[in-house]
Structure 1
Amino acid sequence: MPDPISRGPAVTRRTALALGGGGLLAMALASCARGSDTRPSAPGTVTLNSDNPTWGPGYAAASAVLAERIGYRITSRSVASVANYGQVIRMTAQTDSTTDLIKWTNGYRLQDIARADILTDLNPVWDAVTERGWVDPAQRESFSYRGKAYGVPLYKSYYAVFYSKRAFAENGIAVPTTFDGVMDAAQTLKDAGITPFLSPGATTWEAEIWFMQLLASIDPDYYKAVTTDEASYTEDPAAQAMDVWSEMYGNGFFSAPDVTSNDLPGLVGKGQFGMMLYGTWFANTLLANGLTDDDIGFFRVPPRGSTAPAIVVESGSLSVPVKAHRHAAAVDVAENWLATDVQNAWVGFLGDTSPNPQALPESDLVKDLAKDITATRPTELTRYWEASPTPLVEGNVADLGAFMVNPSRANGTATLRSMEDRARTEWKIWNAA
């Protein structure tokens, strides 16, 4: 889902302390539930700070199961201003205004606040949930910093291709099992007068989607290396990705820049939609807009050539501030959050996949994809938005958005040079902090 964290510069430990006495802290505290965040919640509850008010019913459904398991429910509180959510968490987690749990992201965005010593080490929790089979242990790395885990997965989404079953059936297209097959399907749809790919994002976070997927399909090991400062953006896999992306634009495979993901339900009804590469969290939105499993399917983007299969994963973090009022209860909730019965209730609301491979949503749309992933076990890659330090990612995503407006091969080369220049600067800053 769209990342809620402020797009502004990351607040480091030093700047957080500097901001703590100023107007930003006052604004942050005012954004929280008035007065109630400075004292413990009612008995039998723990508080959760979130940026998504629409998830309240989901937390309630999961909490009903948690209450039966451990005697505690989650009371969720949403920050009024999504744009300020990141600053609110950074400030309140250091004071008695903190909630017992916080919703955050994983990867480097989690590492950034873990360096401020405001989150609880959840290594014992990970040991317990891994032993019970409630989570894939491979996920632990993206929730850890210097050997300590600072959150458990709040949710888990994959990036895969939504496709119109009607458009595929009417044009004799089978679900592709190779990367070339995806391109062939796109050409067939174009020849039929259907825009092959809905591709939003020239001015948003979505500009990362095709770049990260092409790298994942071309060389997942390189993807992990370039996002962790072990490779250059000017190396061959990135050049291949930009060339393929440029060629797809040249072939007329993408929608106009002003088309958004919210247009998808209407385009399906008009028979004008072919495919869209997006997060599985969007499935619930489509179903809520009247589409069914008969209208829309999902498939995992196959690898290019002989590359091993890989898939991009987005996840949020359920973390416990060190200063949580009901600290022990919050840790207990974090440990039981991934229990299969709790997750069944949670994904029953989300309509998405779960960090717990034993929990599946009711809709076949996502369930079939989850079963495919379980069977094929592709390498799971952290979403680009969380895979590197925040200023680096946000600057590079802006560059990728500019490429989408002018997707020539020459501009692809120039874009990678700009991304590499930024990487050299931002990794120095990150490593020096």
Structure 2
Amino acid sequence: MSRTTTLTRSLLAVALAATTALAACSGSDDDEGSDAKSLTLWHYEGPTSAMGVAWNRAIEIFKEKHPGVEVKFEEKSFEQIQQSAGMILNSDNAPDLMEYNKGNATSGLLSKQGLLTDLSSEATKRGWDKKLSTSLQTTAKYDADGVMGSGKWFGVPNYGEYVMVYYNKDLFAQKNIAIPKTQQEFETVLDTFAKGGQVPLSVGGAEYPAMQILYELALSKANRSWVDSFQLYKGKFDFKGPEMTYGATTFSDWVKKGYISKDAAGIKAEDMGVAFTQGKFPILISGSWWYGRFTKEIKGFQWGSFLFPGNKLHLGSSGNLWVVPTKSKAKGLAYDFIDITMSPEIQNLLGNSGGVPVAAEPDKITDAKSKELIENFNLVLKDDGLAFYPDWPAPGYYAVMAAATQGLITGSKTVAQWQDEVAKPYDQNRKDLGK
């Protein structure tokens, strides 16, 4: 993400004992940069997205509380940070605070490489550990191998996210279509549009959205044990098992049936989202990071959302992480900024702007669509239904999964070839980790 992302889409003083281990590689941390005169901040949330709105307000509050500090904000794209974070954070050009993707292949890898600051002490000191549920903490913690779910805090998420089905209510009404409750009913909906000459799904096959649809289909046949085996390396995993076989086969069939255009292979996530806002497609399957933006930008039709029909497991997790690079020169200020994003004011703003806050005051969420969004997320949490994302398990896996899934769209790869292509780097990473 996805986000992705499009997207995307979420986030002074410190005890000396918590930084002793970092001192050797990051210079003197006597005051963790609390007296720094500037804070360089990177994130990739669009200004009209829920997170963008919230983070911009957080910057204003930060400036009010630190009148002598200059905030040097740089908006980066998801792809920019995804592709070059390791190189940048290992240089003197590293920002002081950065939004970064969560998971083994991203934040886990950087933590293993020693490029991220251990935030465990700050998480306890500032109460972040109390504001985040156990499931949402999964992506904040990484062990010595960079595998999420345990170990030290290397990032702080301050929003949640999940993948859902967005739909054009007007186009559904024209064909007298009700919201589907099962996957079979959903495929009937897709078929109705396709047979009427309308490609039903807006898909960004050049980036994360296509692989997420495939994974959502695989999850329809999966359970929690399967997710833990795939994502957390708890037990053996077989890409030719029934779950991934069903996901890839059904995805390929959807292309053949005209539910997904072969042209989608060259479409980016941004263009996918814009096409939906323009009413060109009746359905889009993607993340909550689009929600606030759709609320503001869709003017020509009524729209809504529902969980992927029939699934108990859904793509989703905590939002992206605020991470503090080891080479940050203003760590104390970075911790202060993170703390502001966890405050009631910012969490409530996030919730009323179409985001999924982790520590909002329920009675302060007044927007009807935002309530629907948050209520559906709570349903997923209630079922322990967050199943993370398909590109997370191994370093460099995003590019592998994206390219392989593009092959299914164009027809240049069979399901068996897709399975072999995505299995090879995954299996090698597990072998390297001794898992």
Which whole-Å CA distance do the structure 1 matches of 2:341 and 2:69 have between them?
A: 11
Equivalence map 1:73-222=2 (5 Å): 75-78=71-74, 85=81, 89-90=85-86, 93=89, 97-108=93-104, 109-127=106-124, 128-129=126-127, 132=130, 134-146=131-143, 147-201=151-205, 203-221=206-224, 222=226
Residue 219 of structure 1 deviates from its aligned partner by 0.7
Residue identity in the other structure for 1:382: F
Match of 2:359 in 1: 356
Q: Verify: 1:61 aligned to 2:34, yes or no.
A: no
Residue 158 of structure 1 deviates from its aligned partner by 1.6
Pair 1:254–1:425, CA change in 2 (3 A): same
Instruction: Decide which of 313, 320, 323 is 1:319's aligned counterpart.
Output: 323
Cα deviation, 1:6-36, whole Å, max 9, x if unaligned, reads xxxxxxxxxxxxxxxxxxxxxxxxxxxxxxx
Which whole-Å CA distance do the structure 2 matches of 1:275 and 1:156 have between them?
A: 22
Residue 275 of structure 1 deviates from its aligned partner by 0.9
| Segment of structure 1 superposing worse, 242-251 or 295-304 | 242-251
Residue identity in the other structure for 2:405: L
Pair 1:252–1:419, CA change in 2 (3 A): same
Match of 1:310 in 2: 314
Which whole-Å CA distance do the structure 2 matches of 1:346 and 1:365 have between them?
A: 13
Match of 2:246 in 1: 240
Residue 213 of structure 1 deviates from its aligned partner by 1.0
Q: Gapped runs of 5+ residues in structure 2?
A: 6-31, 144-150
Residue identity in the other structure for 1:152: V
Instruction: Decide which of 274, 277, 283 is 2:285's aligned counterpart.
Output: 277
Which whole-Å CA distance do the structure 2 matches of 1:88 and 1:256 have between them?
A: 30
Pair 1:382–1:69, CA change in 2 (3 A): farther
Q: Verify: 1:226 aligned to 2:230, yes or no.
A: yes
Which whole-Å CA distance do the structure 1 matches of 2:99 and 2:181 have between them?
A: 36
SS of the residue corresponding to residue 161 of structure 1 reads: strand
Contact 1:72 1:329 in 2 (8 A): no
State the TM-score, normalizing by the size of structure 1: 0.75
Residue 175 of structure 1 deviates from its aligned partner by 1.7
Residue 75 of structure 1 deviates from its aligned partner by 2.1
Q: Gapped runs of 5+ residues in structure 1?
A: 6-38
Contact 1:50 1:78 in 2 (8 A): yes
Cα deviation, 1:237-261, whole Å, max 9, x if unaligned, reads 1112222223323332223424665
Contact 1:125 1:335 in 2 (8 A): no
Pair 1:217–1:393, CA change in 2 (3 A): same
Match of 1:32 in 2: none
Contact 2:218 2:245 in 1 (8 A): no
SS of the residue corresponding to residue 320 of structure 2 reads: strand
Match of 1:399 in 2: 404
Which whole-Å CA distance do the structure 2 matches of 1:309 and 1:264 have between them?
A: 24
Number of residues paired by the alignment? 388
Contact 2:277 2:298 in 1 (8 A): no
Residue 214 of structure 1 deviates from its aligned partner by 1.2
Contact 1:249 1:407 in 2 (8 A): no
Cα deviation, 1:153-186, whole Å, max 9, x if unaligned, reads 1543321111010112222222222222212222
Instruction: Decide which of 45, 49, 53 is 2:42's aligned counterpart.
Output: 49
Residue identity in the other structure for 2:175: N
SS of the residue corresponding to residue 40 of structure 2 reads: strand
Contact 1:226 1:233 in 2 (8 A): no
Residue 368 of structure 1 deviates from its aligned partner by 0.9
Cα deviation, 1:43-97, whole Å, max 9, x if unaligned, reads 7864323355747764331233456789898824327787654676545645665
Residue 208 of structure 1 deviates from its aligned partner by 1.1
Which whole-Å CA distance do the structure 2 matches of 1:298 and 1:40 have between them?
A: 44
Residue 152 of structure 1 deviates from its aligned partner by 0.4
Residue 341 of structure 1 deviates from its aligned partner by 1.6
Contact 2:164 2:308 in 1 (8 A): yes
Contact 1:96 1:323 in 2 (8 A): yes
Contact 2:230 2:237 in 1 (8 A): yes
Q: State, as a whole percentage, how many aligned pairs show the same letter.
A: 16
Match of 1:9 in 2: none
Contact 2:202 2:272 in 1 (8 A): no
Residue identity in the other structure for 2:218: L
Residue identity in the other structure for 2:291: A
Residue 205 of structure 1 deviates from its aligned partner by 3.0
CA RMSD of aligned residues (A): 3.7
Contact 2:155 2:322 in 1 (8 A): yes
Which whole-Å CA distance do the structure 2 matches of 1:70 and 1:76 have between them?
A: 13
Residue identity in the other structure for 1:106: K
